[in-house]
Structure 1
Amino acid sequence: MKTLSFLLIIVLLNLAVAVLCADKYSRYDFPPGFVFGSATSAYQVEGAASEDGRTPSIWDTFAHCGYANGATGDVAVDQYHKYKEDVKLMAEMGLDAYRFSISWSRLIPNGRGLLNPKGVQYYNNLINELVSHGIQPHVTLNNADLPQALEDEYGGWINRRIVKDFTAYADVCFREFGDRVSYWITVNEPNVFAIGGYDQGVVPPRHCSSPFGVNCTRGDSSSEPYIVVHNILLAHASASRLYKRKYQEKQNGFIGISIYTFGVVSSTNSTEDAMAAQRMNDFYIGWIANPLVFGDYPDIMKKLVGTRIPAFSNHESELVKGSFDYFGVIHYTTCYIQDDPGSLALKQRDFNIDVAAKIMNMGDIFLDSEFPIYPWGLQGVLEYVKQMYGNPPVYIVENGQRIRRNSTLEDTSRVEYLHAYIGSVLDAVRNGSDTRGYFSWSFLDVLEILDGYRSSFGFYYVDLDDPDLKRQPKLSSYWYSHFLKGGSVSPDKVIELKTNFSALSHGHFFH
């Protein structure tokens, strides 16, 4: 397997840092057919958690134990009942596409076996509503909400039995919805799902072990994250091969997987820090992408993790290799990396110790503070994927700014973030990246996995104290709509929109 040397990668990343993102642009500067949309996921928006035959997922269990800052998705923002209203808002905004996920336990309540007709009907209704308004449905099959029934029966993702059940679930989705859905993601960000759920224990299903996790009662931080990702990759490959064999020619769709990415920059010009930055990319991006492109994990992972990372058989390697049509890139922020050789000497290891790198100057991604605006970090990720993996098609399936909820409709920092990051995508495309779409997170203020409703990412504020859960547009929704409808955007346009919005909303602030 031929890969770029880590020094060349660092050069490329530093080059990306030096490039300023496009300042003034419009959507017409992007290639024809470039898709702009927004995203949510099932448990975060649907609500109706116990209605019409849906059963609990591991996220329900997690939330009901109080781990999502005391919030649950029992009601969320009730898109289950308000989907027509939401799709109308999407159409008015001018979205090309809407990315959502399917609740496996709504569709197949026991995880396998009999379908829930009302679950099938809901997703048919949502998809038909989108299509009738000219909005492309982009569907994620699983976003951290495995049916609790499968978790209870055999441990869910830590058991290879999940491959068969996931493939059967995917088959149902392709069969029922694939005549109208052309873009599929199998599993959302398996890298951080495995780290959060099986190393640190901060997301469902809260597996971890001392001293790495927090208040976990089960799990093994040193091995389970690697087992989980291995089984996810096998499940993805199985579902992808099924799709390509049985559905793709007739439905003309595309299938991929999403990867959570950081922009990665070495803290100094030292060789040690440069190597640590490359390890960070190998352990976060390469963990997922290398098997899909080359058929195996990065060499450095196998060297440092040893027998704790499962090995692909020759047959499995061939199944996983090439089992994607595109990568979904998830990106929010950038980190500076410093070598941490002392961590390699520890006998007990978890994922972050295996990387042997310190993350510097990023802040806490788990708090409700705003992300620093480092658009060159996303540009660097897209350049890295282009150079390292042969420039595969990419859709940026999540990118957005977090602000404190209930602060203001005048979310200027989100507008500034969007302007900078979409501009960086344009620069990456102009530099040859085969990036084909951009989805902001999120369309509405939704339940967030770690802090519930404490922070928000949405274009629309949702008043949780209003029985009707009224949606109210923020400044960012006007900015994105202006851009989506062909208007040029620039720092001056931000000022102009802000002035007009202030007059429209009378500077209304929430309690």
Structure 2
Amino acid sequence: MAPLLWFLLLLRVAALPEDAATLTRRDFPDGFIFGAGTSAYQVEGAAAEDGRKPSIWDTFTHQVMMTGYSADKSTGDVAADQYHHYKDDVKLMHDLGLDAYRFSISWPRLIPDGRGEINLKGLEYYNNLIDELTRHGIQPHVTIYHFDLPQSLQDEYNGLLSPRFIDDYTMYADTCFKSFGDRVKHWVTINEPNVETLGGFDSGTWPPRRCSHPFGTNCTGGNSTTEPYIAAHHLLLAHASAVSLYRDKYQATQKGHIGITLLTGWYAPATNASQDAVAATRMNDFHIGWFMHPLVYGDYPPVMKIRVGARLPNVTVEQSKKLSGSFDFIGLNHYAVFPTLADETAFNLKQRDYFADGGVANPTKYILEGQNEYAPWALGELLEHVKLKYGNPAIMIHENGYGDAPKTPGKIEYDDDNRSKILQNYLEVLYLSIRNGSNVQGYFVWSFVDVFEFLFGNRMRFGLCGVDMSTAGRKRYVRNSARWYSGFLNGGELRSVSPLSKAYGAA
């Protein structure tokens, strides 16, 4: 058992109320934010309405997922159709008692060609959504870029592989700050850049489907040994550029906060072998440090510089100054622990990708198959690691949730008590981590409603509230986990259930 896990278990005995079931939201710090989230491509639908043009995910789902990538051949064309149901959704958020809603702006809806003319219908939609949230006392937490790069920019200059992305992204971010910053006080520049780069440019399982043999198959071209690092470098510089713009031009008057959100699964040794323990430590430096080290210290982690070598882009002195400290908070998306097996034979290959550079067996296959393990203790390990290694920054847990598949496809099911239990266990570990000094300021469940999942299509459901994807009206229904979370948010004990409006629940 990991040393920190022992510590957390001992701390739990000392720090939790006499009965763990009595833990309530009042035990969290004043001002702590509880919410839930989605992202534009995953929830909005209306993919070809009111001037929106395709993103790389539209292209990908129609070319690849319709032929079986997601098994159910689903796309985000309609998804939960929040574009037409946002008022009902905001009312439901209010009934649940959410403090905040985390969502993203669709770049190809707001600026369909990636740069240039603003789509007034898209501008109207996001203004309406933000106004509806604020009228109901719900904070809008907005992600500027959540994977949905306009296809036009991919076609023009290969998207993230070109430094031209940095300027186009900064102009897009400027439009967001200018248009919505009077009401939006929490901005995320980029969601999960440490995942987009691997899925899109190493394994090629995500758009724009770039990879090279033997690290990926059926790709449109690419080089798995170099392109993930190039794309990541441009995302980092785009983030720093947007933060610099916000601080120089908007923050003083708009009085908001800005950060970036990373996927932070925890790498833990798969066996008791010392080489697996060393590999797990190394992979946390790769997985988390790839972005956190430049954001805190202005350059890539030493272990990456040594093992990746000249394939890792150089950070100039000027870039280092812009990167270092370029956040007010860090968002962490956390779901699982990744069992880590050392594989130094991969590191000895002449051609190496990200996982071979890390000297580990590639866990992608298990992640895609949903075999990674939910382990609440890993959240405690993660938060302690970030606290000690990166100066205890302000943290938002931007995603944490549980996905399951319908027992009977197409059937509406309200019973998701496993989700409630897992979320409860994560909240208990979160509470203990805060008591132990972690500077966590908010927690968002993924997801508010069922969405199109980037890994699983409609096969897996993460929503507190279900969506009947089989009907044109996309009817919402309240699952048990939503009632449980609502009870907690409205002052009940962690295990309590809140009565909600019957209009959303079971007939």
TM over 0.5: yes
Confirm or deny: 8 A CA contact 1:17 1:377 kept in the other structure: no
Instruction: Indicate which of 303, 314, 319 corresponds to 2:317.
Output: 314
Structure 2 match to 1:383: 384
Whole-angstrom CA distance in 2 between matches of 1:130 and 1:394 = 23
Letter in structure 1 aligned against 2:447: S
Q: 1:406 to 1:468 in 2, by over 3 A?
A: farther
Letter in structure 2 aligned against 1:157: L
Confirm or deny: 8 A CA contact 1:45 1:78 kept in the other structure: yes
Superposition pairs for residues 356-371 of structure 1, below 5 Å?
Answer: 356-358=359-361, 364-367=366-369
Whole-angstrom CA distance in 2 between matches of 1:329 and 1:484 = 21
Q: Is 1:171 matched with 2:174?
A: yes
Whole-angstrom CA distance in 2 between matches of 1:411 and 1:113 = 45
Instruction: Indicate which of 223, 247, 272 corresponds to 1:244.
Output: 247
Deviation at 1:399? 0.5
Confirm or deny: 8 A CA contact 1:368 1:403 kept in the other structure: no
Whole-angstrom CA distance in 1 between matches of 2:6 and 2:388 = 14
Superposition pairs for residues 228-239 of structure 1, below 5 Å?
Answer: 228-239=231-242
Tell me the matched-pair count.
Answer: 487
Q: Is 1:62 matched with 2:60?
A: yes
Sequence identity of aligned pairs in percent?
Answer: 51
Letter in structure 2 aligned against 1:365: I
Q: Is 1:409 matched with 2:414?
A: yes
Look up the SS of the partner of 1:403 in the other structure: coil
Q: Is 1:296 matched with 2:294?
A: no
Whole-angstrom CA distance in 1 between matches of 2:302 and 2:328 = 24
Structure 2 match to 1:281: 284
Confirm or deny: 8 A CA contact 2:486 2:498 kept in the other structure: no
Look up the SS of the partner of 1:445 in the other structure: coil
Whole-angstrom CA distance in 2 between matches of 1:435 and 1:122 = 31
Look up the SS of the partner of 1:207 in the other structure: coil
Q: 1:208 to 1:14 in 2, by over 3 A?
A: farther
Instruction: Indicate which of 452, 459, 470 corresponds to 1:454.
Output: 459
Whole-angstrom CA distance in 1 between matches of 2:365 and 2:489 = 32
Deviation at 1:424? 0.9
Deviation at 1:332? 0.4
Instruction: Indicate which of 44, 47, 50 corresponds to 1:49.
Output: 47
Q: Is 1:94 matched with 2:92?
A: no
Deviation at 1:74? 1.2
Instruction: Indicate which of 464, 474, 482 corresponds to 1:477.
Output: 482
Provide the alpha-carbon RMSD of the alignment: 2.1
Letter in structure 2 aligned against 1:162: F
Letter in structure 1 aligned against 2:397: I
Structure 2 match to 1:129: 132
Superposition pairs for residues 1-20 of structure 1, below 5 Å?
Answer: 11-12=3-4, 15-16=7-8
Deviation at 1:12? 4.5
Whole-angstrom CA distance in 2 between matches of 1:132 and 1:31 = 25
Look up the SS of the partner of 1:358 in the other structure: coil
- 291-300 vs 401-410, which deviates more? 401-410
Letter in structure 2 aligned against 1:44: Q
Q: 1:106 to 1:199 in 2, by over 3 A?
A: same
Confirm or deny: 8 A CA contact 2:449 2:462 kept in the other structure: yes
Q: 1:109 to 1:156 in 2, by over 3 A?
A: same
Deviation at 1:104? 0.3
Deviation at 1:357? 2.1
- Cα deviation digits, residues 178-219 of structure 1 (max 9, x gap): 000011111100001111111011112111111111211211
Deviant stretches of 4+, over 6 Å: none
Confirm or deny: 8 A CA contact 2:8 2:432 kept in the other structure: no
Whole-angstrom CA distance in 2 between matches of 1:161 and 1:296 = 21
Deviation at 1:335? 2.2
Superposition pairs for residues 157-306 of structure 1, below 5 Å?
Answer: 157-268=160-271, 270-306=273-309
Instruction: Indicate which of 29, 32, 41 corresponds to 1:31.
Output: 29
- 92-101 vs 213-222, which deviates more? 213-222
Structure 1 match to 2:430: 425
Look up the SS of the partner of 1:259 in the other structure: strand
Structure 2 match to 1:346: 349
Confirm or deny: 8 A CA contact 1:234 1:316 kept in the other structure: yes
Q: Which runs of 5+ in 2 are unaligned?
A: none
- Cα deviation digits, residues 271-303 of structure 1 (max 9, x gap): 433321111111100001000000000011011
Q: Which runs of 5+ in 1 are unaligned?
A: 1-9, 507-511
Whole-angstrom CA distance in 2 between matches of 1:505 and 1:79 = 21
Deviation at 1:38? 0.3
Structure 2 match to 1:108: 111
Letter in structure 2 aligned against 1:433: S
Q: 1:134 to 1:386 in 2, by over 3 A?
A: same
Q: 1:65 to 1:480 in 2, by over 3 A?
A: same
Q: 1:17 to 1:159 in 2, by over 3 A?
A: farther
Look up the SS of the partner of 2:341 in the other structure: strand
Q: 1:223 to 1:456 in 2, by over 3 A?
A: same
Letter in structure 2 aligned against 1:62: F
Deviation at 1:364? 2.4
Look up the SS of the partner of 1:206 in the other structure: coil
Deviation at 1:11? 4.9
Q: TM-score, normalised by structure 2?
A: 0.92
Q: 1:382 to 1:133 in 2, by over 3 A?
A: same
Structure 1 match to 2:471: 466
Structure 2 match to 1:334: 337
Whole-angstrom CA distance in 1 between matches of 2:450 and 2:481 = 12
Whole-angstrom CA distance in 2 between matches of 1:99 and 1:406 = 29
Confirm or deny: 8 A CA contact 2:335 2:374 kept in the other structure: no
